[in-house]
């Protein structure tokens, strides 16, 4: 009996230390797979739609997912990603370059350079990687009333110089103060607007319709530019950087979830600007839910079954 008791103790000890070693190894390598994949979003329709695409692709691979719509702006989502509060969100290369990595403007913006510097900088600084590049650019732009622009002969941002000192601009919560936003326009074009009003993107367009502002910081893939009768002005001095849409995850998530990375790679180059504008229109004009829009698109593309 004593011999059997000793054997049992030895086996128990072996299992205990083996478990400890395995747990320590997992902690050291951070290789535990995600129990739930949480995808964050910014404060506008495109962010919701693309986040649901990520969610549905991962669910097709058996992942449990959650989309947190309206999580916040750039830094809120990025910090949440680094902390592990979310596992993914969609960002834009120009924003990564200028706002997250704080790199100085290039003399001449090159989308490939911005992409490569963003990819390299995030990995080295924060262990964040690009899971896929969606294929479209959603750039910032200045938009004004189309009828007013036609009457005044305004087609470019440079053309605003005689009027800017009397113009009020509606901007999203970031564009007014971020270095690649209004400050950059002022540096490059040499003039500033009378004032700005920071507001949610949806309110921004309504403010334009109600004549509460004279211009807004629009998005080039936003169908509301047409819906509200706006003219997007040409950035003739190329003040604003390229904003290619990319899916971000942490390096540890990528290493622990190869199936997820393979699923997300299917989005590489999949969505062009016209397609994204159409999908945004389904949300803004037709009133469809972001999840339904994402699901129908993925089914149409043969990326999910239902």
CB 202 within 8 A of CB 47: no
Minimal CA–CA distance to 65: which of 82, 83, 53, 78? 53
* 306 residues of the chain, pLDDT tens digit each: 433 444 433 434 443 434 444 444 433 444 445 579 999 999 999 999 999 999 999 999 999 999 999 999 999 999 999 999 999 999 999 999 999 999 988 878 899 999 999 999 999 999 999 999 999 999 999 999 999 999 999 999 999 999 999 999 999 888 988 878 899 999 999 999 999 999 988 899 999 999 999 999 999 999 999 999 999 999 999 899 999 999 999 999 999 999 999 999 999 999 999 999 999 999 999 999 999 999 999 999 999 997
**Which residues lie below 8 Å from residue 300, measured CB to CB, with a gap of 6+?**
none
Residues across the chain: 306
Helical residues (DSSP H) of 30-110, grouped into ranges: 45-60, 74-83, 93-95
Minimal CA–CA distance to 245: which of 125, 137, 116? 137
CB 296 within 8 A of CB 53: no
- The three-state secondary structure class of 196 is strand
């Amino acid at each position: 009996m004593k011999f059997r008791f000793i054997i049992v103790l030895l086996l128990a000890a072996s299992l205990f230390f083996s478990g400890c070693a395995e747990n320590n190894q997992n902690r050291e390598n951070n290789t535990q797979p995600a129990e739930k994949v949480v995808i964050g979003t910014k404060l506008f329709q495109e962010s919701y739609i693309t986040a649901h695409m990520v969610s549905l692709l991962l669910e097709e691979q058996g992942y449990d997912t959650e989309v947190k719509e309206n999580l916040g702006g750039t830094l809120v989502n990025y910090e949440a990603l680094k902390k592990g509060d979310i596992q993914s969100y969609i960002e834009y290369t120009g924003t990564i370059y200028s706002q997250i990595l704080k790199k100085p403007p290039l003399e001449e913006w090159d989308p490939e350079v911005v992409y490569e510097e963003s990819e390299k900088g995030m990995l080295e600084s924060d262990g964040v990687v690009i899971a896929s590049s969606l294929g479209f650019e959603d750039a910032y732009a200045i938009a004004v009333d189309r009828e007013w622009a036609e009457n005044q002969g305004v087609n470019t941002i440079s053309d605003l110089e005689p009027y800017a000192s009397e113009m009020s601009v509606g901007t999203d919560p970031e564009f007014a103060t971020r270095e690649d936003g209004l400050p950059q326009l002022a540096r490059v074009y040499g003039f500033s607007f009378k004032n700005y009003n920071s507001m949610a993107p949806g309110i921004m367009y309504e403010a334009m319709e109600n004549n509460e502002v004279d211009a807004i910081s629009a998005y080039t893939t936003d169908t509301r530019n047409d819906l509200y009768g706006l003219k997007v002005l040409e950035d003739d001095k190329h003040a604003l950087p390229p904003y290619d849409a990319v899916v971000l995850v942490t390096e540890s998530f990528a290493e622990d979830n190869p199936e997820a990375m393979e699923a997300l790679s299917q989005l590489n180059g999949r969505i062009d600007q016209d397609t994204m504008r159409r999908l945004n229109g389904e949300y803004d004009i037709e009133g469809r839910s972001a999840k339904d829009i994402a699901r129908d698109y993925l089914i149409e593309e043969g990326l999910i079954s239902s």
